[in-house]
Amino acid sequence: MAHTYGDERIAEWLRENEYHPRSSKHGSVSCLALLDDLLYESDLFREAAEAGEIVYEEDYTVGEGELRWNVDLVLGPPTNEVETPIEGDRQIAEANPEEIWLAIDAKSVMTEHQKARRNRQRDINGFADIMYHHYPGAVAGGVLLINIADQFRSPLRDEGDITEHDNIERLVEETIEIFRTIDRSEGEIDPNVDAAATVVVDHTNLDDDHETQLVEDPPAPGENSIVNYRTFLSIIVETFEERFLIGDPPNMATLREADTLRNELNEQVVELLHYVHEVGVTMEQGEVSEDSIEDLRETLGQLEDLVDGVEQRHAE
């Protein structure tokens, strides 16, 4: 039986269900469909999943406080020694992961594109940044559902209040462009997203004969665009395989440590600059105080200590 890819499966779901902005259903559907795509496309991943070496979890909370994020789908090695059995026809177990190796956030822009797209762009960037902070090296991807229907009924608005979009093609085109041009990590381990997909659908949310369709013609991204769903999928598969399934996975503990150390260095340099400035000002006034010299000297010493720490830890 032929495999149905995630973009088509989202469209199928929308064809049979009503879209509700406050529901997490559509996001869940697209994430699980993507999970099936990964299992289908990557032999290495499927084998690891079948062997119980990788599990998945939906709606996973990363970090805490300000740096908290609810991730729609995460993949990683399981926490407990006890192997969770694989249930259902999906060849991967659902369990709590020990580390996060791959994280997917699903977002949608169904109406009010003008305003919503900037918010979603911010979400995707924030998501990638937080993932990098807690799980440096984890592959981060975003799936963005974009509606191109020129009419849309929002369940949040008053009955009969149908949103009409003239110039919807231009809006969708610009929205895709925003997600095409957000910064990517391009194989590096950095606070950017590894890949993002834009899935264009024609969905009115009206109970009429206008059937929901997956849109693949322009302005929907073509196969050679990095926001095309299938291209997105291959970038995710390639990055994920190379980083976690071939050879030794990166040591996240070391990466996290390096990140805090780098941040400390940065902070110390900023402080140093501040005191350099202070000394400069007092020199202009012709009255260099012993205090400001001492502040500068002290900060310099602290920076030196940090550098020593780096050397001890990392020099061979």
Partner DNA sequence: AAGCAATGGTGGTTCTTGGG
Partner DNA sequence: CCCAAGAACCACCATTGCTT
Helices (H) and strands (E) in the chain, counts: 8, 9
Verify binding: residue 202, DNA, rule CB under 7 A.
Answer: no
Q: What is the DSSP letter of 162?
A: E
Verify binding: residue 115, DNA, rule CB under 7 A.
Answer: yes
User: For tokens 């929907």, what's the residue?
Assistant: 220
Residue count of the chain: 316
| Contact flags string 53-92 toward DNA, x per CB under 7 A | ------x-x------x-x-x--------------------
Interface with DNA: number of residues (CB under 7 A): 30
Q: Among residues 47 and 123, whose Cβ is nearest to DNA?
A: 123
CA distance 151 to 174: 18
Q: At what angle do helices 252-284 and 290-314 cross, to 10 degrees?
A: 160
Residue 165 beta carbon to DNA: minimum distance, rounded to whole angstroms: 11
Residue 198 beta carbon to DNA: minimum distance, rounded to whole angstroms: 14
| Contact flags string 124-163 toward DNA, x per CB under 7 A | ------------------------------xxxx-----x
| Contact flags string 222-241 toward DNA, x per CB under 7 A | --------------------
Beta strands in the chain (DSSP E): 55-62, 69-76, 93-94, 102-109, 139-147, 151-153, 162-164, 195-202, 213-214
Amino acid at 316: E
CA distance 85 to 96: 13
CA geometry: angle 182, 62, 24, nearest 5 deg: 75
Kindly indicate which of the ranges 22-30, 90-98, 211-219, 220-228 contains the residues binding DNA, using the contact rule CB under 7 A: 22-30
Cβ distance 45 to 36 under 8 Å? no
Binders in 162-201 for DNA, by CB under 7 A: 163
Residue 177 beta carbon to DNA: minimum distance, rounded to whole angstroms: 12
CA distance 220 to 7: 12
Residue 161 beta carbon to DNA: minimum distance, rounded to whole angstroms: 7
Kindly indicate which of the ranges 107-115, 185-193, 230-238, 288-296 contains the residues binding DNA, using the contact rule CB under 7 A: 107-115
Q: Which residues pair with 153 in a beta bridge?
A: 162
Q: Among residues 39 and 143, whose Cβ is nearest to DNA?
A: 143
Burial-class residue 288 by CB neighbours within 10 Å (0-12, 13-18, 19+).
middle
Amino acid at 286: G
Q: Among residues 229 and 244, whose Cβ is nearest to DNA?
A: 229
Q: For DNA, which residue of 20, 46, 180, 184 counts as binding (CB under 7 A)?
A: 20
Residue 125 beta carbon to DNA: minimum distance, rounded to whole angstroms: 12
Verify binding: residue 22, DNA, rule CB under 7 A.
Answer: yes
Cβ distance 77 to 54 under 8 Å? yes
Q: Residue 178's closest CA among 98, 245, 116?
A: 116
Residue 89 beta carbon to DNA: minimum distance, rounded to whole angstroms: 20
Verify binding: residue 110, DNA, rule CB under 7 A.
Answer: yes
CA geometry: angle 160, 216, 105, nearest 5 deg: 75
Verify binding: residue 17, DNA, rule CB under 7 A.
Answer: no
Q: For DNA, which residue of 21, 280, 301, 309 counts as binding (CB under 7 A)?
A: 21
User: For tokens 């010299």, what's the residue?
Assistant: 293
CA neighbours within 13 Å on the CB side: how many for 175?
Answer: 32
Q: Among residues 20 and 46, whose Cβ is nearest to DNA?
A: 20
Kindly indicate which of the ranges 17-25, 93-101, 230-238, 304-312 contains the residues binding DNA, using the contact rule CB under 7 A: 17-25
Q: Return residues touching DNA (CB under 7 A).
A: 20-25, 27, 59, 61, 68, 70, 72, 106-112, 114-116, 118-119, 123, 154-157, 163
